[in-house]
Structure 1
Amino acid sequence: MTKLRVLIAEDHLDIAENIGDFLELSGHHVDYAYDGKMAVSLMESEVFDVLIMDVMMPKLDGLQATQRIRTLPCGDIPILMLTAKDTLDDKLLGFNSGADDYIVKPFDMPELYARIQAQVRKNQKQYQHHIVVNGIALNEKTQSANIDNVPLNLNPSTFKIMWLLTKAHPELVAKSEIEFALWGDLQPQRDILRSHIYNLRKSLSKCSNEVSIIGKHGQGYRLERASNKEQA
């Protein structure tokens, strides 16, 4: 399975860390929310591939948080609900709130991982190829992009790069990953990527003075927004 960005919404630190450690050892990136309100906030500002949601949490429970997330642009994300409640009525409440799967505690980590994989595969088949991150919106089907509703003009190559950088934001995307997305195993002999990055930066400067591409020599690139510079 490709590397996933997973959000774990769980107020019990030991449970959250056990799941997170297992997923990170499997090569995935993990972030945490310790209440339902924080989970909604992170979903509004970041991009994740799957959400593991506890039901009983402070500030906003998992049922309410799931309902709110389903109204967001990223609302088609797979959501797996974790709970100690195992009655049929409890399960129906979970599914009716928008959960894709319902897992009763205690659970075996390999089973949770298998269910995550199944939901991600299912979601990828139905994925609308649309992401919105920090005011940057991309539609892979129409190859269209905008920043704060201002059109961003991209060619097919710079769109692919922008897609990777936006999806990974604020993390670094390895140079090799970008090159593989552009050319697969047929890598060019010259460093053409540098020219594509130059063209992308030029397009970004015409669209917004807040969004830029930061390069790390020999490693890769990341997207930065002026308001996020202290956090990036």
Structure 2
Amino acid sequence: MSAAVLTVLLIEDHAGIARQIATFVDGLGWQLDHAGTGALGVRLATSHVYDVVLLDLNLPDIDGLQVCRAIKAGAPSNVPILMLTARDAYEDKARGFHDGADDYLTKPFDLRELALRCEALARRSQLHVHQELRVGPFMLLARESRAHYRDVALSLTQSGFKILMLLCREHPHAVARAALSAHLWGSEPPESDALKSHIYALRKQLEAAGGAGLLVTIPQLGYRLALADEKG
């Protein structure tokens, strides 16, 4: 199994190829979202945080190069893009890189190589991630695993910090329980409902710092942050 647990967006209209990649990625314990059109791919990539985007160039609605440019311009983080295509001419590769692609894999490809390239791109991207994240009244320091709410230091466990970091990155969207569980434990979550305990502890920390009601449960889905500036 891969050591890294990645969140991947696959933009691929070929159902067979998408199924193969999804099955392989599931076996690694990674989280995969799939878009069968360029429009849906852009919408997902610009509203969620992914470690890697796998982008087919030959899409039914929008050219893959246009999709690449749109994602690079609108994604909430500088997500690396790995292009998947049968176009193997130098000119095609050059256009892809010029339009923002970070790597290139020619079909057909070995799924094991796909995984290696995804991990390499994710590691490279993390080296350039700004270590300070500010969302509303929250300030998180990724390198030190420290978090503040309105200048009040939060006493969080490592799991609590990871949960808060993911909620902040995805804000204002909700994060599914399955995504939080995978973020904490990969494909091997504990048998007990440990996630609920971590959520409870995080909620108590926020309440103690004056942030009662910030961590909201979304029935049948997961959790999200409800910040004061949304309620006006």
**With structure 2 as the length reference, what TM-score do the two structures score?**
0.70
**Partner residue of 2:202?**
196
Unaligned stretches of 5+ residues in structure 1 = 179-190, 227-232
- Pairs aligned (count): 202
Amino acid at match of 2:204: Y
**Partner residue of 2:224?**
224
Structure 1 residue ranges (4+ consecutive) displaced by more than 6 angstroms after TM superposition: 130-133, 135-138, 142-146, 151-154
**Partner residue of 1:123?**
125
Instruction: State the superposition RMSD in angstroms.
Output: 3.8
Amino acid at match of 1:199: Q
Amino acid at match of 2:59: M
Shift of 1:141: 5.4
Distance in 1, matches of 2:63 and 2:27, equals 29
Q: Does 1:212 align with 2:220?
A: no
Amino acid at match of 1:224: R
Distance in 1, matches of 2:45 and 2:152, equals 27
Distance in 1, matches of 2:27 and 2:71, equals 28
Matches within 5 A, 1:91-110: 91-110=93-112
Q: Is the 8 A contact 1:138 1:163 kept in 2?
A: no
Distance in 2, matches of 1:69 and 1:137, equals 26
Q: Does 1:171 align with 2:187?
A: no
Shift of 1:222: 3.8
**Partner residue of 2:66?**
64
Amino acid at match of 2:80: P
Q: Does 1:20 align with 2:19?
A: no
Indicate the percent of aligned positions where both proteins have the same amino acid. 32
SS for the counterpart of 2:50 is coil
Relative contact order (alpha carbons < 8 A, sep ≥ 6): 1 or 2 greater? 2
Amino acid at match of 1:171: A
Q: Is the 8 A contact 1:130 1:137 kept in 2?
A: no
Shift of 1:122: 1.1
Shift of 1:140: 3.5
Distance in 1, matches of 2:148 and 2:75, equals 15
SS for the counterpart of 1:45 is coil
Unaligned stretches of 5+ residues in structure 2 = 186-196, 227-232
**Partner residue of 1:155?**
154
The farther-off stretch of 60-69 and 191-200 is 191-200
